[in-house]
């Protein structure tokens, strides 16, 4: 049985999980095109951070939602290869979007890259549509910006 709960990211097994995500991102994109939040940023009070764990308690995946007055931004979504194919990314998004909605958030945004094919497919299935840059992002051929409104 896999569980998903809100946790702090500054735990050794979660730090390792995020390091795996970073390795994947830096293998696909140049460093100046990776807009990852570090552990210190992920512990801020406006950030929801969820961890998926297997029945033994091992971290299989994670995701974050940065809450701003205008929207929630999906960040740090990752499921280890051993946890893929079980719908964990959808479940992580359910938890993050659900809690953000409880806090009044009705619009979700994200930035990913064109080489992240699996992620793009998940987000499209979840109702996210491609849009232009938002916030402080600049237009970049190595960025895909997406949005989902719940109202």
Residue 151 pLDDT class (50, 70, 90 cuts): low
Helix (H, G, I), strand (E, B) or coil at 34: coil
Domain of residue 82: give its range.
3-149
Helix, strand, or coil (residue 104): coil
Please state the pTM of the whole predicted model.
Answer: 0.95
Q: What is the pLDDT of residues 57-105, one digit of tens each?
A: 999 999 999 999 999 999 999 999 999 999 999 999 999 999 999 999 9
Contact 107, 147 (CB under 8 A): yes
> Percent of the chain beyond pLDDT 70?
99
Locus of tokens 């280890």: 80
Listed in sequence order, the residues at least 6 apart from 29 whose beta carbon sits closer than 8 Å to its beta carbon are 113, 115, 142
Overall number of domains in the chain: 1
Average pLDDT over every residue of 33-60: 96
Residue 97 CB burial class (10 angstroms; 0-12, 13-18, ≥19): buried
**Considering the chain, what is the average pLDDT of its residues?**
96
Q: Which domain CATH number covers 16? A: 3.40.630.30
- Residues 22-32 have a mean pLDDT of 96
Amino acid 150: pLDDT: 82
Sorting pLDDT into bands at 50, 70 and 90, what band is 9?
Answer: very high
Identify the residue whose tokens are 């499921």.
Answer: 79
Calculate mean pLDDT across residues 121-127: 97
Q: 59 forms bridges with which residues in the sheet? A: 53
Within 10 A of 86 (CB to CB), how many other CB atoms are there? Answer: 15
């Amino acid at each position: 049985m896999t569980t998903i709960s809100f946790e702090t990211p500054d735990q050794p097994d979660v730090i390792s999980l995020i390091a795996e995500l970073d390795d994947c991102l830096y293998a696909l994109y140049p460093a100046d095109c990776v807009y990852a939040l570090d552990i210190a940023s992920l512990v801020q009070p406006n950030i929801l951070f969820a961890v998926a764990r297997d029945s033994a308690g091992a971290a299989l995946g994670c995701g974050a939602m940065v809450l701003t007055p205008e929207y929630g931004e999906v960040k740090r979504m990752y499921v280890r290869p051993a946890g893929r194919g079980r719908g964990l990314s959808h479940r992580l998004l359910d938890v993050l979007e659900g809690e953000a909605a409880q806090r009044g958030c009705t619009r979700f945004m994200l930035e990913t890259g064109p080489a992240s094919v699996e992620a793009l497919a998940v987000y499209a299935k979840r109702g996210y549509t491609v849009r232009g840059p938002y916030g402080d992002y600049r237009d970049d051929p190595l960025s895909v910006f997406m949005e989902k409104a719940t109202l």
